[in-house]
Amino acid sequence: MANLTLEMDFFLTQFADSKELQVFQGFLFLLIYLEALMGNLLIFILVTVDQCLHTPMYFFLKNLSFLDAGLISVTVPNLILNSFTHRSIISFPGCICQLFFVIHFVSSELFILTAMSYDRYVAICHPLRYNVILNRGVCLQMVATSWMFGSLFGVLYSAGTFSLFFCGSRKLPQFFCDVPSLLKISCSKVHITIDVSVAIAIVWGLFCLVCIGISYVCIFSTVLRMPSLQGRSKAFSTCVPHLIVVVTFLVTGAIAYLKPVPDLPYLEDVLVSIFYSVMPPSLNPIIYSLRNKEIKVSMQKLLWKLHHYKCYGENNRLVSRKAG
């Protein structure tokens, strides 16, 4: 039975039945993927090369962008390939790897979002001690903790899935491998490892949610006491985008994992899956860059440097030709 399970393939759900609609679906998700990948990589590069952005807030944003790029790269390229080739097959080892990385990136991103809420709390409620509380060592420890817990949950869920047997339907009611869909089609009656993993993940999620909630209660109470309207506006402008991302990420993720999985996914199930796995990586670069003056200034400086190097290179070529 174990060898049979390891050698089997799964059939993923396609959003469209006709080949023409599948091709259109492929192009649509290709555009979404390219926007998300380029947007997140651009933020990662800007924060890395611009010394003005070497602060805790942008350090966490850089890691969030890296996780978003990884999360969308785990699921969407396979969907695009299946749409263009009119296939929907993924091998069992490929499904396990996809599950591991999805869980890893989602768990790590949840902690990074929690760290970002703590960063905003310290910046607004304790501005004079900001650089002392969130020094480089503390920031590195937070990021390392996020990756450690992400890997831990990824290993737990992957090991739990390896312990399942699949002797019936191989049609997953999802466009990528996730735990609820695999449990839905599994013929294993007992799956202790996954049950324990889900219980730990719920505790972890509630812990992060409580930390984020406490941070924002303190933030809003401090902001509302500010005498300056400009100060309140600036504080809200830095907190509201993060709060939108957190609410979207947590609500859609909770619905996706706690809602009973239907035999055939309905439109709302598809939308929840997209909002949980595709939309956050796609929207985060827009949310964090359009209203952020420092990101815009850094982008302008990068474009100016690229233009300067291009002009410098062209001038050198002209001088070399004249000299020759």
Are residues 310 and 267 located together in one domain of the fold? no
Is the domain of 304 the same as that of 159?
Answer: no
Report the Cα 163 to chain-centroid distance in Å.
27
CATH of the domain at 221: 1.20.1070.10
Q: Do 310 and 268 have their domain in common?
A: no
pTM of the model: 0.84
Note the pLDDT of residue 313. 56
Full domain range(s) for residue 317: 293-324
Whether residues 178 and 274 share a domain: the answer is yes
Residues 147 and 211 placed together within one structural domain of the fold: yes
The reply to whether 83 and 173 lie within a common domain is yes
Same domain, 250 and 230: yes
Q: Are residue 107 and residue 236 in the same domain, yes or no? A: yes
**Torsion over CA: 188, 190, 193, 194 (sign):** positive
pLDDT, position 31? 92
pLDDT tens, residue by residue, 179-222: 878 877 777 776 777 778 778 878 888 888 888 889 888 888 88
Residues 79 and 158 in one domain: yes
* 245 Cβ neighbours under 8 A, 6+ residues apart: 113, 280, 283, 284, 287
Same domain, 300 and 165: no
Q: Among residues of the chain, what percentage have pLDDT more than 70?
A: 85
Q: Are residues 314 and 244 in the same domain?
A: no
Q: Please list the residues that pair with 171 across neighbouring strands.
A: 11
Same domain membership, residue 299 and residue 280? no
Reported as a pLDDT band with limits 50, 70 and 90, residue 6 is low
Average pLDDT, the chain: 80
pLDDT attached to residue 1 = 44
Provide the number of structural domains found in the chain. Answer: 2
Residue 244 and residue 275 in contact, taking contact as beta carbons nearer than 8 Å: no
